[in-house]
């Protein structure tokens, strides 16, 4: 049983490496295809999507949405009765079903950028033909690059906005915190490192303690102290509302792109 990965860019490469590290497949059981001849974890790169999809029992489409239709046309005759997993952003299951044989089992996955360092989030939705064994395999494959969640496809736009686009929003907040640190006298290098470590630590506390973020915020906020002084500024400037509107707008854009691509 072979796994084929079409598209060996950053995300495709991360998937291959994660799968190997998690020992879901062995090196000889993974094949790839990419227009560029490249070395990825020692797997065979056929540079031919048809060969890759024909030789593999499970096929991952790690390609850009702009070229997905061309790839689907190339592989449609070789994925009958197979599991096809697409991570192409904005491409719905219904669109994939239109382009592939009716016997193809289809899963749509939305991973995010930290997956390239095995700290990602991958949300997936399934076609009705997908079996429980298929879902188990999807969980194993993507757990190699982080956390995995099964969702209804109707929630994919919200996932795209929050976890898919979320890292970009957090990088801006991280940079802003570092700018504040520089303004307060820290070196740029120290400020960025402190900002990143502080965000990582705060996120880890939420996950490990399972406490509500508001309660953890209250634990840091002493009467008349520095934290409440900063929070007062954030509330006065509408930080909460800005972030909520940011996610909502990103979700609307994701829905718009879904409609455009499909």
Same domain, 151 and 53: yes
Short-list 140, 113, 144, 139, CA closest to 126: 139
pLDDT at 154: 93
Task: Give the pLDDT of residue 31.
Answer: 93
Among 156, 175, 190, the domain boundary falls at: 156
Number of domains in the chain: 2
Residues 144, 170 within the same domain: no
Summarize pLDDT for 62-114 with one digit per residue, the tens. Answer: 999 889 999 999 999 999 999 999 999 889 999 999 999 999 999 999 999 99
What's the pLDDT tens digit per position in 130-150?
Answer: 999 999 999 999 998 999 999
C-alpha distance from residue 98 to each of 26, 93, 246, 254 (Å): 33, 9, 33, 21
Quote the CA–CA distance of 25 and 21 in Å, as a whole number: 9
The whole domain housing 216 covers: 164-261
Instruction: Give the residue from 205, 233, 232 showing the smallest Cα distance to 219.
Output: 205
Q: Which candidate, 1, 123, 116, places its Cα nearest to that of 59?
A: 1
Q: Tell me the Cα Rg of the chain.
A: 21
What SS3 state is found at 149? strand
Domain shared by 97 and 8, yes or no: yes
| 133 CB-contact burial (10 Å; exposed 0-12 / middle 13-18 / buried 19+) | exposed
Indicate if 9 and 49 belong to the same structural domain: yes
Question: What pLDDT does residue 158 have?
Answer: 93
Give the CATH number, domain containing residue 131: 3.40.50.720
Residues 103 and 122 in one domain: yes
On whether both 45 and 174 belong to a single domain, the answer is no
> How far apart, in Å, are the Cα atoms of 62 and each of 10, 48, 169, 217, 223?
9, 14, 24, 39, 51
Q: Rounded to an integer, what distance in angstroms lies between the CA atom of residue 79 and that of residue 100? A: 8
For the chain, which residues score pLDDT lower than 70? Answer: none
Q: What is the pLDDT of residue 219?
A: 94
The answer to whether residues 134 and 30 belong to one domain is yes
Are residues 143 and 199 both part of a single domain?
no
Alpha carbons 87 and 106: distance in angstroms, whole number: 11
Q: Please say which residue of 106, 128, 156 terminates a domain.
A: 156
């Amino acid at each position: 049983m072979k796994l084929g990965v079409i598209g060996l860019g950053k995300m495709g490469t991360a998937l291959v490496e994660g799968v190997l590290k998690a020992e879901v497949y062995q090196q000889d059981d993974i094949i790839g295809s990419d227009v560029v001849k490249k070395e990825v974890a020692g797997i065979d790169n056929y540079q031919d999507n048809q060969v890759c999809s024909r030789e593999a029992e499970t096929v991952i489409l790690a390609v850009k949405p702009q070229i997905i239709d061309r790839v689907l046309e190339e592989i449609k005759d070789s994925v009958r009765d197979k599991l096809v997993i697409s991570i192409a952003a904005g491409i719905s299951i219904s669109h994939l079903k239109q382009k592939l044989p009716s016997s193809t089992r289809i899963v749509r996955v939305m991973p995010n950028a930290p997956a390239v360092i095995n700290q990602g989030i991958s949300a997936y939705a399934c076609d009705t033909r997908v079996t429980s064994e298929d879902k188990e395999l999807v969980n194993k494959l993507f757990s190699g690059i982080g956390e995995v969640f099964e969702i209804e496809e109707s929630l994919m736009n919200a996932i795209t906005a929050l976890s898919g686009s979320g890292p970009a929003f957090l990088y801006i907040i991280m940079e802003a915190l570092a700018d504040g640190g520089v303004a307060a006298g820290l070196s740029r290098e120290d400020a960025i490192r402190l900002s990143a470590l502080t965000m990582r630590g705060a996120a880890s506390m939420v996950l490990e303690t399972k406490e509500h973020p508001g309660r953890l915020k209250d634990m840091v906020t002493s009467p008349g102290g520095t934290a409440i002084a900063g929070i007062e500024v954030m509330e006065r400037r509408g930080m909460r509302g800005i972030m909520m509107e940011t996610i909502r707008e990103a979700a609307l854009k994701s829905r718009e792109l879904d409609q455009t691509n499909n």
